[in-house]
């Protein structure tokens, strides 16, 4: 019987290579092949001592002959028969009846189209009427790639994949391997060395820690957010209110009665959604939920960008959380890390034995600050991987916006590097042109999908939120980290000395309209020894709460969208700790409960008052009334809406009550208090301005309104003619 074509030595070498796991082209040997006089089926199953070709009902088609004692068999197919199963019999008497993976043709398209997120990973499909999983992975420099799992005893010799030389991708359809199967890829590098088992970069589910395997996953979720998704394109307009509640899912709230265990995605869909809705935030922002090996990275060192972390449930459980947010009218923003990845052996690092996802030169590959590796944006396949992932979150997971982390580390080649430790671009500069092109393309793709993007970018790079066609990076919004740094620095000063730092509160208005800014009070400001927001306010307990209330009021009155990290809304006293719940018991204390009540009312007033959000990014939406009263640490300004309505915003950052405080206004309108952070229901002293405040003519050309300005407070005034009487 002919086993292989060609001479005997070549036949023996091919079989030995299969048995030893070094044959990179098993499809040329295994499966059904024409030979002189008919067709032959060859199969390999380590440990089997007998093999048969059988029909679907188990009846015998033909005996197979053992060619190699390690489990290599061959057998002639009966005439006119094409369908068969393989039945292997082992020494202990147990049997396995399997579809032959090597009888199935390729499912991948050729050329560059093969390296797309729609084809790579693990796809459960029906192939020629057989249900199974098609595994595909990009590893252009590997000598051999196999998929391994419990179904083949994690033996890399059993399911060696087909190589596509034009794309560098490998694939195989494995029948009968379905949902929930754990798997990894086994690779030999170009020199034939065995690499550590690799998780699937495109896996949509991962094994719970400390496991590192990927899991075959097929979503069967049925969405209920059709109304939201239909309206989502309108949600991207810049003249809408955006107030964001930033959340770390693992520590927002824990179940003390169950050993301090985490809430699941589905439990959070009740608890978190109701809470965010009650406080009237427009959006919730999730710190990264892509799978990550180290809790202490808070998700910012992801190992699998497509896999929702198993810490809180399945990917469909996360879909349920997003769905519930949308049904409650809450947008969902996801922190997304496309800057770097960890060095764990099972991850992307030297995936096929070469610097595949990272740059070969350590001056571009290594992220000095975090001990991680930067993505190489000069490789088309890496860019496809990342942009495909961005689309995955927006299109398949219904995430509305991506907040892109660490943009500065992407666009500057000398980020955290000095001297000869960085590699300049071709013009000798420090701009990473590849990263810039990647970000521009990513933003264009996501905007076309109906998503929005936020840049966490800490430098003065011009045009972060300018359109790509105008030379910008194309983000929808940019975090204003300078505003956060300056204003928090001011608030930490003793009120007696704030007059010497007055410019910290006004400087942000010099550049406030150069980008579409978000004003973030984020997690970064309550970690690494910085303390809590409340703890950074000077003075006694009352002054600390009053100062924080005034600061929140200042944030909501200032041009720019709003963001607040969890716990800030009720005055968490200690620094955030990702390993424990927020201190919800503090809400039993009046000052903490009052602060949260203020945040709720700030959000409600903000959403209901167009002047506070409609013209955030143009100078015509803002007018200074009092900018230079540094001796009294007071400020006043107007916010304008497109219809001509306006709100007067007045701040007093000293603990002194200021009677008959004059605010210059135009015209002769009367005003009412719209919001006062010193109200007793918020924990304040109750200094307020009841009734109507009438303009007074100060001289021939100007008018003022005189108010009682509360201590450490922010007051909003609205013309009485705009209010229901």
State the Cα–Cα distance between residues 310 and 136, nearest whole angstrom: 22
CA 543 to chain centre: 37
pLDDT of residue 110: 53
The angle subtended at Cα 122 by Cα 160 and Cα 334, nearest 5°, is 140
111-215: CATH topology is Immunoglobulin-like (2.60.40)
Look at the domain 614-722 and name its fold.
Immunoglobulin-like (2.60.40)
Which of 376, 405, 434, 457 is the catalytic position?
405
Say what the pLDDT of residue 113 is.
41
Task: Extract the tokens encoding 532.
Answer: 């809590």
Active site residue 381: no
- Predicted pLDDT at 114: 38
Mark residue 428 as left, alpha or beta (left: phi above 0; alpha: psi -120 to 50; beta: remaining).
left
Residue 8 pLDDT:
66
Identified catalytic residue from 376, 400, 434, 456: 456
- pLDDT single digits (tens) 675-705: 999 999 999 999 999 999 988 888 777 889 9
- Taking CA atoms, 584 is separated from 131, 169, 570, in Å, by 49, 51, 9
Tokens for 515? 């980008």
Tokens 């890496």 found at: 382
pLDDT the model gives residue 237? 87
Residues in the chain with pLDDT values less than 50: 1-2, 111-115, 722-725
- pLDDT at position 241 is 97
The pLDDT score that the predictor gives to residue 209 is 87
- In angstroms, the CA 286 to CA 275 distance is 14
- CA distance from start to end of the chain: 100
Closest CA to 318 of 401, 433, 204, 233: 204
- Which of 96, 106, 104 minimizes the C-alpha distance to 50? 96
Query: 429, 412 in Cβ contact below 8 A?
Result: no
Asked whether 207 and 199 are in contact (CB, 8 A), the reply is no
- Cα–Cα dist 193/357, whole Å: 19
CA of 203: how far to CAs of 133, 172, 481, in Å? Answer: 12, 15, 34
Domain ranges within the chain, ordered by starting residue: 8-103, 111-215, 614-722
pLDDT at 725: 36
Domains 8-103 and 111-215 share a fold: yes
- Pure H helices in 328-432: 362-365, 380-391, 407-411
Residue 194 phi/psi, 5-degree rounding, is -80, 125
Q: Give the pLDDT confidence score for residue 667 in this predicted structure.
A: 76
Select from 680, 624, 681, 669 the least CA-distant residue to 651. Answer: 624
Find where tokens 């699937």 sit: 200
Q: How far is CA 201 from CA 50, 85, 437, in A?
A: 37, 32, 23
- pLDDT at position 5, please? 52
- Note if 456 is an active site residue: yes
Domain at 8-103, CATH class: mainly beta
Residues near 210 by Cβ (< 8 Å), separated by ≥ 6? Answer: none
- Max CA separation in the chain (angstroms): 114
pLDDT in tens, 104-123: 999 886 544 434 777 899 99
β-bridge partners, 40 = 33, 76
Name 403's Cβ contacts closer than 8 Å, sequence gap at least 6. Answer: 285, 333, 334, 335, 336, 453, 454, 455, 456, 479
């Amino acid at each position: 019987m002919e086993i292989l074509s060609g001479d005997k030595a070549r036949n023996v070498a091919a079989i030995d290579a299969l048995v030893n796991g070094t044959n990179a082209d098993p499809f040329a040997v295994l499966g059904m092949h024409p030979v002189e006089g008919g067709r032959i089926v060859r199969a390999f199953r380590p440990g089997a001592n007998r093999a048969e070709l059988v029909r679907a009902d188990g009846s015998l088609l033909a005996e197979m002959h053992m060619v190699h004692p390690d489990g290599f068999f061959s057998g002639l197919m009966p005439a006119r028969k094409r369908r068969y199963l393989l039945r292997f019999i082992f020494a202990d008497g147990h049997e396995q009846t399997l579809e032959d993976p090597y009888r199935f043709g390729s499912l991948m398209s050729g050329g560059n189209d093969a390296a797309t997120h729609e084809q790579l990973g693990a796809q459960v499909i029906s192939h020629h009427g057989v249900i199974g999983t098609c595994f595909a992975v990009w590893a252009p420099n590997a000598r051999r790639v196999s998929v391994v799992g419990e179904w083949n005893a994690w033996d890399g010799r059993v399911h060696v994949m087909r190589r596509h030389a034009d794309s560098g991708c490998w694939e195989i359809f494995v029948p009968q391997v379905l949902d929930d199967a754990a798997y990894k890829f086994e690779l030999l590098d170009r020199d034939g060395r065995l690499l550590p088992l690799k998780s699937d970069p495109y896996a949509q589910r991962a094994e719970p820690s400390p496991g590192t395997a990927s899991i075959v996953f097929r979503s069967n979720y049925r969405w209920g957010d059709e109304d939201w998704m239909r309206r989502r394109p309108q949600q991207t307009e810049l003249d809408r209110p955006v107030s964001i509640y930033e959340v770390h899912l693992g520590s927002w709230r824990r179940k003390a009665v169950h050993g301090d265990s985490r809430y699941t995605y589905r439990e959070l869909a009740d608890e978190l959604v109701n809470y965010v809705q009650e406080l009237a935030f427009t959006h919730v922002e999730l710190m990264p939920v892509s799978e990550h090996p180290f809790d202490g990275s808070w998700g910012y060192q992801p190992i699998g960008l497509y896999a929702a972390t198993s810490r809180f449930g399945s990917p469909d459980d996360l879909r349920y959380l997003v769905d519930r947010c949308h049904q409650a009218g809450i947008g969902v923003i996801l922190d997304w890390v496309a800057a770097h990845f960890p060095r764990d052996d099972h991850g992307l690092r030297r995936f096929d034995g070469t610097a595949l996802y990272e740059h070969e030169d350590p001056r571009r590959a290594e992220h000095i600050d975090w001990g991680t590796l930067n993505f190489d944006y000069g490789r088309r396949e890496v860019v496809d991987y990342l942009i495909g992932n961005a689309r995955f979150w927006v299109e398949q997971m219904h995430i509305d916006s991506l907040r892109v982390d660490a943009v500065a580390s992407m666009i500057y080649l000398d980020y955290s590097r000095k001297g000869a430790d960085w590699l300049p671009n071709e013009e000798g500069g420090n701009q990473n042109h590849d990263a810039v092109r990647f970000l521009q393309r990513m933003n264009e793709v996501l905007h076309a999908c109906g998503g929005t993007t936020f840049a966490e970018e800490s430098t003065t790079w011009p045009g972060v939120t300018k359109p790509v066609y105008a030379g910008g990076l194309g983000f929808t919004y940019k975090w204003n980290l300078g505003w956060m740094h300056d204003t928090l620095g001011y608030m930490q000063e003793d009120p007696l000395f704030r007059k010497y730092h007055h410019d910290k509160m006004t400087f942000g208005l010099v550049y406030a309209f150069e980008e579409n800014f978000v004003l973030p009070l984020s997690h970064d400001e309550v970690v690494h020894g910085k303390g809590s927001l409340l703890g950074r306010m000077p003075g006694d307990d009352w002054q600390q709460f009053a100062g924080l209330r005034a600061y929140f009021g200042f944030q909501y009155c200032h041009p720019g969208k709003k963001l607040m990290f969890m716990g800030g809304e009720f005055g968490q006293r200690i620094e955030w700790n990702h390993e424990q719940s927020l201190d919800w018991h503090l809400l039993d204390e009046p000052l903490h409960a009052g602060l949260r009540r203020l945040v709720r009312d700030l959000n409600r007033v903000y959403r209901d008052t167009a002047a506070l959000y409609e013209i955030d990014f143009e100078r015509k939406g803002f007018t200074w009334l009092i900018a230079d009263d540094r001796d009294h640490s007071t400020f006043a300004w107007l916010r304008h809406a497109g219809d001509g309505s306006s709100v007067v915003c007045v701040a007093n950052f000293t603990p002194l009550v200021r009677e008959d405080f004059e605010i210059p206004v135009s015209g002769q309108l009367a005003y009412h208090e719209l919001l006062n952070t010193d109200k007793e229901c918020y924990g304040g002293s109750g200094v307020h301005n009841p009734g109507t405040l009438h303009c007074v003519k100060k001289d021939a050309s100007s008018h003022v309104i005189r108010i009682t300005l509360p201590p450490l407070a922010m007051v909003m005034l609205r013309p009485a003619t705009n209010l229901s009487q």
